[in-house]
Amino acid sequence: MPRPGPRSSKSKACSCRVYGIDAETAFHLLTWRSQVTNTKLRTLAETILRQVRHDPEPPELRERLGHLLLTAHRHT
């Protein structure tokens, strides 16, 4: 399995915090979405991080991250 780069690691950490999952599960989650959407993992991670940085409401972060995870491939 490839090692995550810095952007993937940050996206993974975000997923860990929001969903309460461990790093390995978060990486599998990002890898799964990358494969399902045929989007490079790096591109998916960059898109998620770019969008999350603009999210001003922490209580909505889980919903926002879930939406981004499912739609980031459309915004690349």
CB atoms within 10 A of CB 26: 22
Sign of the four-CA dihedral 22, 70, 54, 45: positive
- Tokens for 15? 């997923």
pTM: 0.60
Averaged pLDDT of the chain: 77
69 Cβ contact partners less than 8 Å away, ≥ 6 residues apart: 15, 29, 30, 33, 48
The pLDDT score that the predictor gives to residue 23 is 83
Alpha-carbon gap, residue 43 to 56, rounded angstroms: 22
DSSP SS3 for 22: coil
- Could you tell me which residue, 45 or 1, shows the higher pLDDT? 45
The pLDDT score that the predictor gives to residue 66 is 83
Residue 58 has pLDDT above 80, yes or no: no
The pLDDT-based confidence of 42 (bands split at 50, 70, 90) is confident
